[in-house]
């Protein structure tokens, strides 16, 4: 039998006049502070005591917490009263790097908001069968480098479903899935982050029906060196990726600090990536950027592992609807490239490729058919000639007029159970 736990005694312990479960921004009374401390103690105890099948229900209200929350039990559901009804605020957090840290499998969290955590908002580490539904993670003071790096952050996970979520103002990525396998991110919204949605070193991911707007970069598919696995096989489709022109506010030295403001969809050093049926518009550097690790400027003291492949391969872009963009690229090099190729009033094309290619694999100047970059979008492609510092860029789109085998849909446990 499912064990249900309801966190409600705390708010009932004080009078309604104290607004102990309200969204009021007025200075907290001593009774409110006491009630929040009691609520936090009770909730953390329930997380520590949780057993497989436990359902921890958090009623509507705004709760101010001073330390992060941790769950280590498998098979637990944390359920709020609704995304904008149950709010866990970590604005006064003094302990713990995350808002909520989970080391568990068969985990579901839904119907709540996490605000202003000192570090990452919601981190799930090394779990199977993870569902994150109708969860908002945000920093309410705007886009600042002092904000936590990641909003919704499953890493080293398997069978992950993120749906109907919101991420705002993370200093790295709003919705980030890293080093994972079997991922669906859908019907979610990311705005005012450095990276809106990022899939990194992950295998088999579907990202669809999302909105990424007013980030530095809208949707990123990256492969970084020295991680537990390389990523491949990601489909990005039916998304709206619009006006991602926010100035980059990432911490210096991080990978996303290299993302130009005005980047719509960015593929970096990944393989088997399919971009189709998206509405991509008004991203001022380029609507789609395809690049190599060599273009990032990202530095690691450990160096790069010998088996790391820094080149994008088997990239297929087709059937998207592009509009505007490319008119005000970020960075002196890209600005100079735009003016040299298209004039002061011109704009970079919808697809910008940095020009880095694995020359060891070339046959008559082309990659093998199954590893090519194919653009079937009737869109102009610019080869920026990054290896030669943009000295000989090319507008010739003919090398990209090819087709690739389409990737299969991602099937994960949660989706199979719902069908």
| pLDDT value of residue 298 | 76
Instruction: Annotate 73-111 with three-state secondary structure.
Output: CCCCEEEECCCCCEEEECCCCCEEEEEEEECCCCEEEEE
Q: How far apart are CA 39 and CA 343, in angstroms?
A: 61
Q: How far apart are CA 283 and CA 334, in angstroms?
A: 14
The token pair at 11 is 């708010």
Number of residues written out for the chain: 419
Residue located via tokens 């409110």 = 32
Q: Count of CB atoms within 10 A of residue 340's CB?
A: 11
Backbone region of residue 130 per phi and psi (left: phi > 0; alpha: psi in -120 to 50; beta: other values): beta
Tens of each residue's pLDDT in the chain, 419 residues: 444 544 444 343 332 333 334 444 556 678 888 899 999 999 999 999 999 999 999 999 999 999 999 999 999 999 999 999 999 999 999 998 899 999 999 999 999 999 999 999 999 999 999 999 999 999 999 999 999 999 999 999 999 999 999 999 999 999 999 999 999 999 999 999 999 999 999 999 999 999 999 999 999 999 999 999 999 999 999 999 999 999 999 999 899 999 999 999 999 999 999 999 999 999 999 999 999 999 987 767 678 888 899 999 999 999 999 999 999 999 999 999 999 999 999 999 999 999 999 999 999 888 999 999 999 988 899 999 999 999 999 999 999 999 999 999 999 875 544 43
Q: What value does the CA radius of gyration of the chain take, rounded to a whole number of Å?
A: 23
Strand partners, 288: 265, 351
- The percent of the chain in helix, strand and coil, each rounded to the nearest 5, is 15, 40, 45
| pLDDT value of residue 26 | 57
Q: How far apart are CA 318 and CA 220, in angstroms?
A: 17
Contact of 161 with 138, CB cutoff 8 Å: no
| pLDDT value of residue 24 | 43
| DSSP secondary structure letters along 269-304 | S-EEEEEES-EEE--SSEEEEEE-GGGT----TT--
Q: How far apart are CA 403 and CA 41, in angstroms?
A: 57
Q: Which residues contact 352 (CB under 8 A, 6 or more apart)?
A: 285, 286, 288, 289, 290, 326, 381, 382, 384
Beta strand 55-58 with 61-64 is: unpaired
Backbone region of residue 70 per phi and psi (left: phi > 0; alpha: psi in -120 to 50; beta: other values): beta
| pLDDT value of residue 42 | 95
CA angle 324–326–328, rounded 5-degree value? 115
pTM: 0.92
Contact of 193 with 215, CB cutoff 8 Å: yes
Q: Which residues contact 76 (CB under 8 A, 6 or more apart)?
A: 47, 50, 51, 52, 53, 54, 55, 56, 104, 106, 107, 108
Closest CA to 123 of 190, 170, 189: 170
């Amino acid at each position: 039998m499912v064990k249900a736990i309801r966190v409600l005694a705390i708010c009932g312990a004080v009078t309604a006049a104290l607004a102990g479960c309200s969204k009021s921004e007025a200075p907290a009374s001593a009774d409110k502070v006491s009630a929040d401390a009691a609520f936090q103690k009770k909730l953390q105890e329930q997380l520590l005591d949780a057993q497989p099948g436990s359902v921890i229900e958090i009623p509507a209200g705004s709760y101010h917490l001073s330390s992060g929350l941790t769950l280590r039990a498998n098979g637990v559901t944390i359920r709020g009263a609704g995304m904008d009804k149950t709010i866990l605020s970590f604005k006064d957090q003094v302990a713990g790097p995350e808002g909520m840290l989970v080391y568990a499998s068969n985990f579901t969290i839904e119907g709540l908001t996490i605000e202003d955590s000192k570090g990452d908002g919601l981190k799930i580490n090394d779990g199977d069968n993870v569902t994150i539904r109708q969860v908002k993670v945000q920093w309410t003071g705007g886009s600042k480098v002092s904000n936590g790096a990641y909003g919704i952050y499953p890493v080293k996970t398997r069978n992950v479903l993120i749906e109907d979520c919101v991420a705002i103002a993370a200093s790295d990525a709003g919705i980030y899935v890293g080093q994972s396998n079997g991922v669906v991110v859908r019907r979610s919204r990311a705005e005012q982050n450095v990276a809106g949605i990022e899939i990194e070193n992950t295998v088999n991911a579907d990202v669809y029906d999302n909105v990424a707007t007013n980030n530095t970069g809208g949707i990123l598919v990256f492969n970084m060196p020295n991680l537990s696995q390389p990523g491949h096989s990601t489909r990005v489709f039916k998304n709206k990726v619009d006006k991602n022109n926010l100035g980059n506010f990432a911490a210096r030295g991080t990978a996303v600090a290299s993302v130009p403001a005005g980047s719509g969809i960015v593929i970096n050093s990944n393989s088997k990536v399919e971009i189709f049926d998206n509405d991509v518009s008004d991203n001022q550097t380029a609507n789609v950027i395809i690049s190599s690790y060599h273009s990032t400027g990202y530095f690691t003291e450990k160096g790069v592992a010998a088996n790391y492949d820094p080149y994008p391969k088997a990239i297929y872009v087709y059937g998207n609807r592009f509009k505007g963009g490319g008119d005000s690229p970020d960075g002196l090099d890209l600005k100079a490239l735009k003016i040299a190729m298209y004039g002061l009033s011109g704009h970079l094309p919808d697809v910008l490729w940095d020009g880095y290619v694995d020359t060891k694999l070339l046959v008559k100047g082309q990659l093998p058919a199954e590893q090519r970059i194919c653009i079937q979008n009737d869109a102009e492609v610019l080869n920026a000639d990054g290896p030669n510092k943009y000295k000989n860029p090319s507008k010739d789109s003919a090398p990209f007029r090819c087709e690739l085998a389409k990737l299969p849909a991602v099937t994960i446990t949660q989706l199979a159970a719902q069908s």
